[in-house]
């Protein structure tokens, strides 16, 4: 391997591992600024970088050692997901989803992709801003899968090397997830989420908790730290954009316009699924129905964005090869976008923030991986927290056939979008961004059970347990999390 | 960098297993310097590296020497972290010169796993640096990230935990003791006896088990009084 190729591979690996850290956004912003300086020429950029790396070898090595460890002998698929059986499970799940999509295509006689006739293109251009008024016949389409189907797959996950000879009753874990991943317990969570403790001011509990304008400094690390205690409503849009490094540059607007042109030219089968999903979820929601048109615009563009495919480099999933897009929406997918509509009213900005949120966090909620923010870890964490701190409740629910995860899974897979009231949901997402982890979602799910535990102890069936937990819109997120993490004796 | 180690299949016994790799006689002994050993872990919690070394110029018998003792490969022996990761042991961590034979001793204290071994073992020969070409040394990969699962131990190290703490997690301990009891194995431990009590990295299950017994004992004593 010559030096050039080796360097490319190394740089690729570094970028991949930096992706999603605030260091990455800062480097990217610096690079953007540097490009405008006159003494840097694009033609010699590659050579300059190479000579810099050569001269500053020692320094680079220091930085490199700070990164999470990865091994040069590890094959690419190992970097995506270290556990072989997880990779296998994800691959077979994808195969199943694709198969069902393909069979839908052949059953209904709808091609996966087709070019729109000119007349239709014109029509769509004219009603781009009011796509919600269109009422296509979608009765034949059904969502490819619902969270419930995905949960069944997660429940059936097994480690082939794990000793499962004992009866389930003597197993130390009563829950549905049987994968021995390492999840944090409450003392560890207390240390990790120390900014959420009772003594620290929290937006969402105290007003004027902390006012420190970090937006003007354009420091995404500071913004992230700030977000841990909640963002004030008027600053949230800017802070999130800063953390996610979605600066809405002219090229971002252009990229969005290109995607829009793609939507107008081609019609995908997936578009129908998006329409169907928006109609089924967001349009029926008291908070989000007003954003219906925005949702179509963003999601249709999203389905055609090749930049989204980049996240497959570090996701255990692989992109489907048979057609243009990469992400197959499931029932409730549009709820990832809906809350962001409260923050951004410009479609291109909304789009870039959503895309960043997706490739950093949300993809983990519907792919099988061993990541700490992955849905498998979240489910296990939820069950462990509940079993350790509310064993009686867990035992009771298990006895009446209402496994807690069966109720909580739908909340977690959507990161609570559509279940909490929007102000509370945004406060929760502040913390996801602030801690760069979805772990808090599992903590909140357990906290909700703890909060309703008295009522839950009296129920006698899954249906009545679900009824007790049907309406979460009155809950206040931060007090629940604080009480569960910091005010419960353990 | 030449690769001169052979792959060797390892099969896990109950607590430990070991693997010897001999270097072929053809290679001159004085040149048997090792740059790096890399391997892929498969559910091994700790690895010990022993080297059979012969001093140069002497006809004395080669001696076994422990180069690295109980290097943790998994964050916690009972959970997945590190269970299928790639690792390498670099010459700065051991002194791998004049090596005749390398022995890897693998240990897995957790009963959760059916088998454990190391895969894709590769040993790289050390080459004297030829020129000041920097390109190779720029990217020296971090070799180990030892994370000893001490959090569980700290909990019990100051005697008995307070009753409230125990009561909230007693069900888990109970389940663990059940698992321990049903898990009494008759398989032979093999040639490497593992005595956990002398090791400061106790297996959490054993600790929990001991602690539960102690707790029950205290309860019994109280009931007699």
In sequence order, the β-bridge partners of residue B50 are B66, B103
Cβ pair B168:A162 closer than 8 A: no
Q: Does A72 touch chain B (CB under 8 A)?
A: yes
The 3-class SS string of chain A reads CCHHHHHHHHHHHHHHHHCCCHHHHHHHHHHHHHHCCCCCCCCCHHHHHHHHHHHCHHHHHHHHHHCCCCCCCCCHHHHHCCCHHHHHHHHHHHHHHHHHHHHHHHHHCCCCEEECCHHHHHHHHHCHHHHHHCCCCCCCCCCCCCHHHHHHHHHCCCCCCECCCCCHHHCCCCCCCCCCCCCCCHHHHHHHCHHHCCCCCCCCCCCCCCCCCCCCCCCHHHHHHHHCCCCCHHHHHHHHHHHHCCCCCHHHHHHHHHHHHHHHHEEEHHHHHHHHHHHHCHHHCCCCHHHHHHHHHHHHHHCCCHHHHHHHHCCCCCCCCCCCCCCCCCCCHHHHCHHHHHCCCCHHHHHHHHHHHHHHCHHHHHCCCCCCCCHHHHHHHHHHHHHHHCHHHHHHHHHCCCCHHHHHHHHHHCCCCCCCCHHHHHHHHHHHHHHCCCHHHHHHHHHHHHHCHHHHHHCCCHHHHHHHCCCCCCCCHHHHHHHHHHCCCC
pLDDT at B11 over 50: no
C-alpha separations of A360 from A20, A308, A384, B208 in Å = 6, 11, 25, 38
B83 chain-A contacts, CB cut-off 8 A: 82-83
A396-418 residue pLDDT tens: 999 999 999 999 999 999 999 99
* Cβ within 8 Å, pair A180-B172: no
Higher pLDDT, B163 or B142: B163
Q: Is A388 on the interface with B (CB under 8 A)?
A: yes
Contact A54 B138 (CB under 8 A): yes
Whether the CB of A70 is below 8 Å from some CB of chain B: the reply is yes
Chain B positions touching A388 (Cβ under 8 A) are: 168-169, 172
Q: Give residue-wise pLDDT tens across range B44-58.
A: 999 988 888 877 666
**pLDDT for A55:** 62
- Could you say which of B79, B116, B172 has the minimum Cβ distance to residue A388? B172
The answer to whether the CB atoms of A166 and B182 lie below 8 A apart is: yes
Q: How far is B101 from chain A (nearest CA, A)?
A: 23
Instruction: Find the mean pLDDT for residues B89-110.
Output: 81
| Beta carbons within 10 angstroms of residue B98's beta carbon | 19
Interface test with B, best of A58, A73, A81 (most B CBs within 10 A): A73
Tokens 């460890």 identify what position? A69
CATH number of B16-127: 2.60.120.260
Q: Which of A169-173, A191-195, B10-14, B117-121 has the lowest mean pLDDT?
A: B10-14
**A398 vs A106: CA distance, rounded Å:** 42
Instruction: Give pLDDT tens digits for B157-199.
Output: 334 445 555 555 555 555 556 566 655 544 433 333 333 333 3
Q: What confidence category does residue B3 fall into, taking pLDDT thresholds of 50, 70 and 90?
A: very low
Would the CB atoms of A54 and B135 count as touching at under 8 Å? yes
In angstroms, what separates the C-alpha of A229 from chain B's closest C-alpha?
27
* pLDDT, mean of residues B126-144: 44
- Residue B210's Cβ-side half-sphere holds a number of Cα atoms within 13 Å equal to 13
Q: Do A187 and B179 touch (CB under 8 A)?
A: no
Q: Per-residue pLDDT averaged across B2-8, rounded? A: 38
User: In this predicted structure, what is the pLDDT of residue B58?
Assistant: 64
Q: What does the pLDDT read at residue A431?
A: 94
- pLDDT above 50: residue B207: no
Name every residue whose Cβ is closer than 8 Å to that of residue A339 and which is 6 or more positions away in sequence.
Answer: A288, A417, A422, A425, A426, A429
Which positions ≥6 away from B110 have C-beta within 8 Å?
Answer: B45, B77, B78, B203, B205
A73 in contact with B, Cβ within 8 Å: yes
How far, in Å, CA of A257 to CA of A261, rounded? 6
Please state the rounded mean pLDDT for residues B205-222: 43
From the list A64, A182, A395, the residue facing B75 with the nearest CB is A182
Geometric angle at alpha carbon A446, from A170 and A376, rounded to 5°: 65
pLDDT at A472: 93
> Of all residues in chain B, what percent carry a pLDDT higher than 70?
40
The answer to whether A71 contacts B141, with C-beta atoms less than 8 Å apart, is yes
pLDDT at A490: 63
Q: Which residues contact residue A38 at a Cβ distance below 8 angstroms, ignoring those fewer than 6 apart?
A: none
Mean pLDDT across the stretch B1-29? 47
| Domain map (residue ranges) of chain B | 16-127, 151-224
Closest chain B C-alpha to A439 CA, distance in angstroms: 17
A162/B contact by beta carbon, under 8 A: yes
For chain B, state the CA radius of gyration: 22
Residue A296: count other Cβ atoms within 10 Å of its Cβ. 24
Contact A160, A85 (CB under 8 A): yes
Q: What is residue B1's predicted lDDT score, i.e. its pLDDT?
A: 33
Residue with more model confidence, B5 or A299: A299
pLDDT the model gives residue B213: 43
For every one of its 490 residues, what pLDDT tens digit does chain A have, with 9 covering 90 and above?
Answer: 455 665 666 666 666 666 656 666 667 777 767 666 666 666 676 677 666 666 655 455 444 444 445 677 777 778 788 899 999 999 999 889 888 888 888 888 888 888 888 888 888 888 888 887 777 777 888 888 889 999 999 999 988 888 776 554 445 678 888 888 889 988 999 999 998 888 877 776 666 555 566 666 677 788 888 888 888 888 899 889 988 888 778 888 888 998 899 888 888 888 888 888 888 888 888 888 888 888 998 998 888 887 776 666 666 666 655 444 567 888 888 999 999 999 998 889 999 999 999 988 998 998 899 988 899 999 999 999 999 889 999 999 999 999 999 999 999 999 999 999 999 999 999 999 999 999 999 999 999 999 999 999 999 999 999 999 999 999 999 999 999 999 877 6
Q: Looking at per-residue confidence, does B219 or A77 come out higher?
A: A77
Percent of the residues in chain B that have a pLDDT greater than 90, as a whole number? 4
Q: Which helix (H) or strand (E) holds B53?
A: strand B46-53
Judge whether residue B109 has pLDDT over 70. yes
Residue B141: its chain A contacts at CB < 8 A? 64, 69-72
């Amino acid at each position: 391997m010559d030096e050039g190729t080796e360097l490319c591979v190394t740089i690729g690996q570094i970028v991949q591992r930096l992706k999603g850290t605030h260091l990455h956004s800062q480097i990217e912003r610096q690079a953007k600024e540097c490009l405008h300086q006159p003494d840097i020429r694009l033609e010699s950029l590659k050579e300059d970088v190479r000579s810099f790396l050569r001269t500053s070898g020692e320094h680079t090595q220091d930085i490199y050692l700070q990164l999470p460890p990865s091994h040069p002998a590890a094959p690419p698929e190992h970097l995506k997901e270290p556990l072989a059986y997880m990779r296998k499970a994800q691959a077979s799940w994808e195969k199943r989803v694709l198969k069902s999509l393909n069979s839908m295509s052949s059953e209904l006689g709808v091609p996966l992709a087709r070019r729109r006739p000119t007349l239709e293109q014109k029509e769509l251009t004219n009603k781009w801003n009011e796509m919600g008024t269109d009422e296509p016949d979608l009765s034949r389409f059904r969502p490819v899968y619902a969270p419930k189907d995905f949960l069944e797959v997660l429940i059936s996950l097994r480690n082939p090397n794990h000793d499962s000879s004992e009866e389930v009753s003597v197993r130390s874990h009563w829950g549905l997830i049987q994968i021995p991943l390492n999840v944090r317990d409450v003392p560890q969570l207390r240390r990790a989420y120390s900014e959420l403790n009772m003594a620290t001011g929290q937006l969402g509990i105290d007003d004027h908790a902390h006012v420190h304008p970090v937006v003007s400094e354009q420091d995404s690390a500071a913004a992230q730290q700030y977000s841990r205690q909640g963002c004030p409503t008027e600053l949230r849009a800017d802070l999130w954009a800063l953390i996610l490094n979605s600066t809405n540059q002219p090229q971002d607007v252009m990229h969005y316009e290109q995607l829009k042109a793609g939507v107008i030219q081609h019609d995908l089968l997936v578009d129908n699924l998006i329409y169907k999903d928006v109609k089924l979820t967001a349009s029926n929601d008291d908070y989000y129905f007003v954003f219906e048109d925005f949702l179509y615009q963003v999601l249709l563009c999203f389905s055609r964005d090749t930049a989204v495919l980049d996240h497959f480099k570090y996701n255990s999933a692989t992109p489907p090869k048979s057609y243009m897009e990469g992400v197959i929406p499931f029932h409730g997918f549009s709820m990832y976008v809906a809350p962001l509509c409260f923050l951004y009213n410009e479609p291109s900005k909304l789009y870039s923030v959503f895309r960043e949120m997706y490739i950093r966090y949300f993809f983990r909620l519907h792919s099988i991986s061993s990541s700490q923010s992955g849905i498998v870890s979240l489910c296990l964490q939820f069950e462990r927290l509940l079993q350790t701190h509310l064993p009686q409740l867990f035992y009771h629910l298990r006895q009446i056939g209402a496994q807690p995860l069966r109720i909580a899974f739908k909340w977690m897979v959507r990161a609570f979008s559509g279940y909490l009231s929007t102000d509370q949901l945004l406060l929760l997402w502040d913390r996801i961004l602030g801690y760069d982890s979805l772990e808090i979602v599992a903590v909140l799910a357990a906290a909700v059970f703890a909060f309703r535990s008295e009522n839950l102890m009296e129920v006698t069936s899954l249906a009545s347990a679900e009824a007790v937990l049907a309406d979460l819109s009155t809950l206040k997120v931060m007090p629940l999390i604080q009480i569960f993490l910091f005010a419960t004796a353990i | 960098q030449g690769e001169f180690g052979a792959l060797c299949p390892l099969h896990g016994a109950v607590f430990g297993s070991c693997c010897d790799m001999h270097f072929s006689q053809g290679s001159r002994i004085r040149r048997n310097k090792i740059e790096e050993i890399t391997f892929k872990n498969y559910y091994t919690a700790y690895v010990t590296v022993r080297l059979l070394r012969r001093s140069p110029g002497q006809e004395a018998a080669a001696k076994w020497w422990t180069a690295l003792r109980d290097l943790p490969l998994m964050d916690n022996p009972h959970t997945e972290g590190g269970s299928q990761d790639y690792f390498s042991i670099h010459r700065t961590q051991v002194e791998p010169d004049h090596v005749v034979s390398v022995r890897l001793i693998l240990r897995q204290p957790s009963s959760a796993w059916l088998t454990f071994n190391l895969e894709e073992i590769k040993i790289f020969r050390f080459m004297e640096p030829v020129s000041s070409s920097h390109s190779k040394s720029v990217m020296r990969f971090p070799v180990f990230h030892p994370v000893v699962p001490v959090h569980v131990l700290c909990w019990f190290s100051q005697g008995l935990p307070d009753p409230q703490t125990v009561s909230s997690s007693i069900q888990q301990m109970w389940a663990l003791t059940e698992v321990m009891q049903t898990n009494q194995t008759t398989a032979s431990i093999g040639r490497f006896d593992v005595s956990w009590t002398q090791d400061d990295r106790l297996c959490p299950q054993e600790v929990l088990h001991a602690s539960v017994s102690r707790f029950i004992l205290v309860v019994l004593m109280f009931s007699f009084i």
